[in-house]
Structure 1
Amino acid sequence: MSIKSQKKDKEDKNRKQFFAAKLRMPYNSGKPVKLQDVKRLSMAHDANKFRLSIPIEKCVSSYGWRYLPGEHPFVNFYSLEESLDEFYDHFRPNNALEGLTLDSDKKEHPVPKGSWIQKIIPDPPTCEGGLNEKIYGSSICGPVHPKKLQLEKSRLKKIRESIRFHGYNPLMSNHDLYGYFLVKNNDFVFHVSGGLHRSAALVDLGWPILPAVFLMGPYNTPRIVTEWHLDFLAGTAYPEQDLPILKEMFHAYFDENLRKKRRQALATWMNSAQAKVAQVASTSMVEF
């Protein structure tokens, strides 16, 4: 698909979501979503007509980063811009399992290409800001081209400034955050699929919840994924023998030890960034 076609497709998507946003209502009067709500929303025919209030501690992005200070590279960016350089320099998983577990021993582990989110017709490579993902890198991990790094920084800055000065009201635009729930036993998280930068900006600005939706129309995703779904998809979305790997990836989103490991990694990269900034400042003072 050409860049022109991708642009038109994105414009069509934005137009549809813009009008859909006008129709959505606050779910449960805007109260924070709980497990019982997740169960109800997973099957409710009209669930995509509502805007959900998801507690930020329940919001995650790819590789399990939680949308909390010290637990997400984009949120950390607002404390120190250079920390994002360190993140992309050091977080370069060879596959999804290595990324979720931060275990280099998983680097050569055979991981299935398919997962619990499937499309019959695969999307073309993402081309944000005119930068092809295959060439310039992805937002969610390194390595990235310097142009991609600057694009990510620019987006994070502009979005926060826009929200700070103009507020954030999805009803006035097509800027709804969207994603799906992962549920394990009596716990759940909301996987943010769209609005990664906006989510980080809202968290940095002190929002205790993220207003999110299920997309309408052809761009929607499954509302909920559980272990049952993993068993159900085995042999279709991926070979039966890959099921244990998919379950390990799924459990990684809920593993508190891995969550602690992610915090430690981000803290290490933050310390490295602070040391480099201090060194540059010290050198500048000496030269002066």
Structure 2
Amino acid sequence: MVLNGEKLLEEDRNISVFMEYMKKRDQESYDLAKKALRNIKSYSSTRKDGKGYRIRIKCKNEERMFSCSFPYIYGDFMDIIEDNVDLYKGRTAYLENTGGYLLNFMTQRGYDSIGLAMDEDEWERSIFSNFPVYRREYLKRELYPLVIGNEEIGTLDRIIWIVEDYREEKKFLDKYLNDDVDIFLLVPEKLEFNIDELDGKILISRTFVMSDREFKFYFLSSRGNYEPEVTKIPEGLEVLNSGSVIFRVQADKCRDNNGFQYTENGHYFVETLKQYEKDRDLEYGDSFLKKYYEGFQPKNRRDNYLWEEGVECFPMDHGWLYDPWRKPANPPIREKRFETRKGGNHNIGPNTQEFGQAEFKRLTGAYEVLREEGYNPDFFVDGYITGYLLIRSNDYRFIASEGQHRIAALAALGYESFVCRFDLKPWTNQKVFYNQASKWPQVKAGIFTPRVAKMCFDHFFRKDNNLRLLEHMDGSIN
């Protein structure tokens, strides 16, 4: 049954509109899905057992709840595939019976791929597994197709199949399984399964044990000659020539919104975690974080960047405003700083005692999770550290938008690099080039001159910001 989208919008049934029109792939339907998305709210939370997360989405007259949990064996499976074939070459189909893991994995990396859902329930669960991200970014990056049923999808190079119900799934996939298609399989132990029923010779066979459960990995192909290829996630500026929104950055090129470096002495989050590493009973009142919030209380953006008096930098010395590369054009300059949550701003002081204690708890909590489990962003909604790149000649800085506590924890744990994702919120430029300052939104709007705009950009490339911060606070690290 085809639903009348405009009528449903009038009835404030935006979830139904979103679902109906995300199944189609024409531009008109996609635009209607995005229109509905703006009237849907979403909430996500980690489950109490720490294994997965819950998502609640609602609009005026509808509500949905989903619970997601992905076994880490999925990550091992995809690691082996990426170590043996270049997924950027050719077209990949995958059976989406994972509740959204494969949909999000394949889409974010920019692989030419199509998902195959056996029914509408699986399709819905997969689409909504990452819904808070779609909601925040308004689907700025279109999802690759996830089709329902045996639709004609054209030529394929390979199929990825995590087996759950072999007989039913094979019946569903039979029309796609032929001599020309490589097959990657992950099969749990004690499952009814006959490898001889599948075309192709076994090129790779491995056994995994996870949580006392055994899994078999198979790579089948009819190709006579097989030369392993590696799927390489773009590193740094390599992402500019890639369709991926996932890429690897060096930790020493990461900056927070102040321009402070995570890998040099003096970063307020990292120094606090170094204290915490030595003393697990550390309290906020004795932490470097509290000292920082009390010692760094800028009154405007000039103070925030620690620019000396006498430097002509209007309007930076008149209040708080967006960075010159942010869009759209800035509203009137704010006299008061932005608050990240009620009671404070996690990047600067002053903050209430309650805010500081909560921030300290968030920071140490992120550290403990990453210390125990490592950084596994594919297994959680919003799991990726996100941000954007400032690019000057052949150098870059990654500016963190979401995940500043996680970067600090990774830095404290000694990570030299990590995989991140572009921030795709509508007001964020993912790639900002120094030589295009005259085209930056706030410059075009006349709020910044190109000279001052470039001064802001250069601030994030300075090597002494942390040192200047410590001098400003007039104290060494305890």
Same fold (TM > 0.5): yes
C-alpha deviation, 1:60, in angstroms: 0.6
Structure 1 partner of 2:409: 201
Q: How has the CA–CA distance of structure 1 residues 149 and 235 changed in structure 2, closer, same or farther, with 3 Å as cutoff? A: closer
Higher helix share: 1
Alignment partner for residue 58 of structure 1, among 242, 253, 265? 253
Partners of 1:98 and 1:127 in 2: how far apart? Answer: 17
SS at match of 1:64: coil
SS at match of 1:191: strand
Decide whether the 8 Å contact of 2:387 with 2:421 is kept in 1: yes
Higher strand share: 2
C-alpha deviation, 1:185, in angstroms: 2.4
How many residues align structurally?
250
C-alpha deviation, 1:270, in angstroms: 4.6
Partners of 2:366 and 2:441 in 1: how far apart? Answer: 40
Question: Which residue identity is paired with 2:429?
Answer: P
Alignment partner for residue 350 of structure 2, among 143, 150, 153? 143
SS at match of 2:387: strand
Q: How has the CA–CA distance of structure 1 residues 97 and 121 changed in structure 2, closer, same or farther, with 3 Å as cutoff? A: closer
C-alpha deviation, 1:229, in angstroms: 3.4
Structure 2 partner of 1:247: 454
C-alpha deviation, 1:238, in angstroms: 3.7
Q: Which has the larger radius of gyration?
A: 2
Worse-superposed segment, 53-62 or 160-169: 160-169
* Greater RCO (Cα-Cα under 8 Å, separation 6 or more): 1
Structure 1 stretches lacking a partner, 5+ long: 275-288
Aligned-pair identity (%): 22
> CA RMSD, aligned part only?
3.8
Decide whether the 8 Å contact of 1:38 with 1:181 is kept in 2: no
SS at match of 1:154: helix
Normalised to the residue count of structure 1, the TM-score between the two structures is: 0.71
Structure 1 partner of 2:421: 213
Decide whether the 8 Å contact of 1:63 with 1:96 is kept in 2: no
Structure 1 partner of 2:271: 76
Structure 2 partner of 1:33: 235
Structure 1 partner of 2:19: none
Structure 2 partner of 1:226: 433
Q: How has the CA–CA distance of structure 1 residues 94 and 237 changed in structure 2, closer, same or farther, with 3 Å as cutoff? A: farther
1:100 aligns with 2:308: no
Question: Which residue identity is paired with 2:263?
Answer: L
C-alpha deviation, 1:149, in angstroms: 0.3
C-alpha deviation, 1:98, in angstroms: 2.3
Partners of 1:70 and 1:32 in 2: how far apart? Answer: 29
Partners of 2:315 and 2:428 in 1: how far apart? Answer: 26
Question: Which residue identity is paired with 1:47?
Answer: S
Q: How has the CA–CA distance of structure 1 residues 38 and 260 changed in structure 2, closer, same or farther, with 3 Å as cutoff? A: farther
Partners of 1:236 and 1:248 in 2: how far apart? Answer: 12
Structure 1 partner of 2:325: 116
Q: How has the CA–CA distance of structure 1 residues 105 and 9 changed in structure 2, closer, same or farther, with 3 Å as cutoff? A: farther
C-alpha deviation, 1:201, in angstroms: 0.7
Q: How has the CA–CA distance of structure 1 residues 69 and 253 changed in structure 2, closer, same or farther, with 3 Å as cutoff? A: closer
Decide whether the 8 Å contact of 1:26 with 1:52 is kept in 2: no
Partners of 1:220 and 1:205 in 2: how far apart? Answer: 32
Normalised to the residue count of structure 2, the TM-score between the two structures is: 0.45
Partners of 1:22 and 1:87 in 2: how far apart? Answer: 38
Alignment partner for residue 295 of structure 2, among 69, 81, 90? 90
Structure 2 partner of 1:47: 244
C-alpha deviation, 1:243, in angstroms: 3.0
Partners of 1:229 and 1:10 in 2: how far apart? Answer: 37
C-alpha deviation, 1:249, in angstroms: 1.1
